[in-house]
Structure 1
């Protein structure tokens, strides 16, 4: 290792003497203790991609130099069999320590070095749904949607990024370019999300119009305009507050009907605890919302009306191995008298990885989604006000091209009439 250090130092001096400018960052200076690279390297170490630097003494409990960090990154770059998540971490580390890697003889192109400043991800996706609801006026509804999505992320400094989401969609069956021509479809590009994201060690802060941070599957598949704070490592505490548009892109008929009568935007405050380590994940949360919409929701209360929702939830998941996992969640609205409970149990086997052609997964789930608590569930099969079984599969056809099929068969909670839905999607990710 001493010979390697001497060789690298000599190379750095020669390069510095031959250049008109000398790199401002000393390769032998310590990487600050709160730098994001420590978490990234720890994750790679946990996944078995790297074992440390030099004599393999890295344990994540002491500061190391930029040169030592670059050694670990170089080893990670030499690995060929890594998953897409680890590959993204390696690319980000390579961009950060590109000067040190160049001194080690590991080539990093200018494009790679600058890639982390502004990243553009996105997808083009086609979605087909066929919904059968025996209790609805129109018992059969089909939908063909083509959506284009961009998700830029811009680096502000070592701690802060700005993220956004822009969506536009069109109805293929009608060949329409008019706004709101289908189920929440919009041909014009809309800014759906924009938030500043700050990371300080194990503490994360989000400010703006951001993704829902708690119960985003069972209860709230939407954004909130406000702020969130999450802190902790294995046990995480999340605080969230802001304004939540109940009638945003919801599939809840009860909310949609009430929102047409009264302002549907709710004040929302949430707190949650989530524990995750190795194979086990457990969590609990509480949400308080107030909006006049609740006064007009059908069968929300039997007696006097209320403009509040007080929702508590629990969740858990256990991975038996790298392929099989069982998870579930339950929630209840203490302010509602009817349809106030929601829950799901899901068994997952594997899962499609967009970066790896041929990977696939299947799942089966039972869902019960009371419409007065599951205000905007995210499931592509079951919807608010139904209960029943849902099955699905996904498959990576080509690299970054994933096809999904889901089927729900159940009944409406209010009258027991049949409810079913077929869902298909092809995603082209970039």
Structure 2
């Protein structure tokens, strides 16, 4: 009798129950439209340069938020907000304000991807910069993937990125450069590789001493700067514990300090979600300052340096990462010894 009554009520209120089910389904589908990940990062660096007998220690923290919002089935919006401070001055000498570092819309249609906004560089990070640029990126493929990017980039970080004179022309002028890049990458089993090209160009007028460096330029005349950087990357994973990676970059517009290369052996690897996991690596890098003005390797070997780098990483607790790196080598232009000790704790959430 109870079952018959339930069936009768179910038939009578079928439309209402269906509508309720749809509403619950939609609510569940869109409950996570906006997700926010982040990290609290503490970093200590100690650098030494024999060329000027300088020693510099920095205690810094970064609080970072990385929200992702669903627009529809194909599009999402991404952002990154950073707040930096110095530990030894209780935040002094830096800006307490939260800064919007990246913001872009991303669309995915099968193997085709498009990004618009202030984007992270994904062409080849040994050769140009870890900082984002404002523009657009298209990519297509899976095992073979082509990427094309174009936009504008703040070139104050580069200085004179195409000549041999150590002149920070762009830093003085607060200029921006046109940026274009293209990459073809492939994944074949345990092998990954890519070939890439990046172009930077800018024109400015300088009334100071920079014009005197160019014999064919007068003070007040426009001066053109450009860089054409070609790069190769190849990596092979022998098994779950061992991998080898090699990279090379060449700036064909530079007079000297025009190439960069890196050889790295990785053993195991720290996994944020797995307590107790760890990894280590050893590398030799040479980062000519006009082929790698500001690469992602700056935590250890920096642009304009060469030498050996050692690193270890460890997950003492879930979502807590400890990293230590040590670089010992030379400042290339001065041919003087240089070293760096780098330590970091990341608390992911």
Shared fold, TM over 0.5: yes
Partner of 1:75: none
Indicate how the Cα distance of structure 1 residues 124 and 13 shifts in structure 2: closer, same or farther if over 3 A, else same: farther
Indicate how the Cα distance of structure 1 residues 227 and 14 shifts in structure 2: closer, same or farther if over 3 A, else same: farther
Deviation at 1:115, TM superposition (A): 5.0
Partner of 1:21: 19
Match of 1:321 among 213, 234, 239: 239
CA RMSD of aligned residues (A): 3.0
Output the CA distance in 1 between the equivalents of 2:309 and 2:13.
Answer: 61
Partner of 2:63: 148
SS at match of 1:21: helix
Partner of 2:5: none
Output the CA distance in 1 between the equivalents of 2:81 and 2:148.
Answer: 26
Is the Cα–Cα contact under 8 Å of residues 16 and 22 in structure 1 kept in the other structure? no
Partner of 1:172: 87
SS at match of 1:19: helix
Partner of 2:38: 122
Partner of 1:3: none
Match of 1:378 among 277, 283, 296: 296
Alignment map for 1:13-412 (pairs within 5 Å): 19=17, 21=19, 23-24=21-22, 99=25, 113-136=29-52, 139-177=54-92, 181=93, 185-248=94-157, 257-292=168-203, 306-379=224-297, 380-412=299-331
Q: Greater RCO between the two (CA within 8 Å, min separation 6)?
A: 2
Stretches of structure 1 that go unaligned for 5 or more consecutive residues are 1-11, 26-97, 101-109
Structure with the largest fraction of helix: 1
SS at match of 1:329: strand
Deviation at 1:291, TM superposition (A): 1.9
Is the Cα–Cα contact under 8 Å of residues 156 and 174 in structure 2 kept in the other structure? no
Indicate how the Cα distance of structure 1 residues 14 and 196 shifts in structure 2: closer, same or farther if over 3 A, else same: farther
Output the CA distance in 2 between the equivalents of 1:297 and 1:223.
Answer: 30
Partner of 2:7: none
List per-residue Cα deviations over 1:385-406 (Å, max 9, x = no partner): 1000000000001110000000
Partner of 1:62: none
Output the CA distance in 1 between the equivalents of 2:11 and 2:266.
Answer: 54
Deviation at 1:187, TM superposition (A): 1.8
Output the CA distance in 1 between the equivalents of 2:239 and 2:342.
Answer: 28
SS at match of 2:19: coil
Output the CA distance in 2 between the equivalents of 1:285 and 1:297.
Answer: 35
List per-residue Cα deviations over 1:214-264 (Å, max 9, x = no partner): 1124431110100000001111110000011123599x9x88833233343
Indicate how the Cα distance of structure 1 residues 393 and 302 shifts in structure 2: closer, same or farther if over 3 A, else same: farther
Indicate how the Cα distance of structure 1 residues 399 and 294 shifts in structure 2: closer, same or farther if over 3 A, else same: farther
Output the CA distance in 1 between the equivalents of 2:166 and 2:37.
Answer: 32
SS at match of 1:260: helix
- How many aligned positions are there? 326
Output the CA distance in 2 between the equivalents of 1:371 and 1:336.
Answer: 10
Output the CA distance in 1 between the equivalents of 2:266 and 2:292.
Answer: 22
Output the CA distance in 1 between the equivalents of 2:84 and 2:11.
Answer: 55
SS at match of 1:373: coil
Partner of 2:3: none
List per-residue Cα deviations over 1:281-312 (Å, max 9, x = no partner): 111011111024899999xx998775111111
